[in-house]
Amino acid sequence: YVPVKGDHVIGIVTAKSGDIFKVDVGGSEPASLSYLAFEGATKRNRPNVQVGDLIYGQFVVANKDMEPEMVCIDSCGRACGMGVIGQDGLLFKVTLGLIRRLLAPDCEILQEVGKLYPLEIVFGMNGRIWVKAKTIQQTLILANILEACEHMTADQRKQIFSRLAES
C-alpha cells in the first residue's frame, strides 16, 4: 500500500514515543499520529491509546519524500467515526480492488451482508477491514463472505446469501 493524502485507513499502533504514536498502515514505513490529533484532546486531556490498538484515521501528509502523518479528526475538529476502534472484532486484509468495490455507492454485497446480521464494519483504503457482529461465529462468517466475494459472480453470491438467510 502507498499512502495517499486524504485516504481513510486502519492502522495498528506499534510504538508510543513522547507526543507521537507510530502506526503501521501497511506501507513502507509507519505513519506518525500526534496525541493532539484526536477529538477533544488537549495537553491535559490525552486520548487513551495503547500499543496494539487499532486506529481508524486519515492521512494529512503523504508523499514519497516525507513520513506519512495521520489524524483522527476532520477539518472541523470532529471525530466523524475516526479514532480507536473497539476491542472485540476481527481485522483482516483484502485486495485494494475489493475495498474500492465495497465502497462504491451501488455495492450490492454490503446491502446483502447488512440483511444477514446486525454488524459494525470499518473499511480502510489500505486493504484492511474490521468487522464485528453479535457473536464470534457471525463475525467469522461475515469475514469469510467478504473475502470470498472478490472471486464470485453475482449468481454465486445470491446462492450463498440465500443459504445463509435460511440457516
Can you give the pTM of this predicted structure? 0.92
CA distance 144 to 75: 35
Top CATH class, 7-84: mainly beta
Beta bridge partners of 132: 120
The predicted model gives 90-105 an average pLDDT of 94
The residue type of 108 is: E
Q: Is the pLDDT of residue 99 over 90?
A: yes
Break the chain into its structural domains and give their ranges.
7-84, 90-166
CATH, domain range 90-166: 3.30.1370.10
- Asked if 81 and 39 count as a contact pair (C-beta separation under 8 A), the reply is no
Cα–Cα distance, 95 to 104 (Å, whole number): 15
Residues 32 and 68 sit within 8 Å (Cβ to Cβ): yes
Q: Which helix (H) or strand (E) holds 9?
A: strand 8-17
pLDDT tens per residue across span 51-84: 999 999 999 999 888 899 999 999 898 999 999 9
Give the strands of the sheet with 90-93, arranged side by side: 90-93, 128-133, 119-123
Cα angle for residues 35, 82, 138 (degrees, 5° grid): 130
pLDDT at 137: 94
Task: Report the DSSP beta bridge partners of residue 33.
Answer: 21, 70
Which residue, chain included where needed, has cell 502506526?
23
In the predicted model, is pLDDT for residue 167 greater than 80?
no
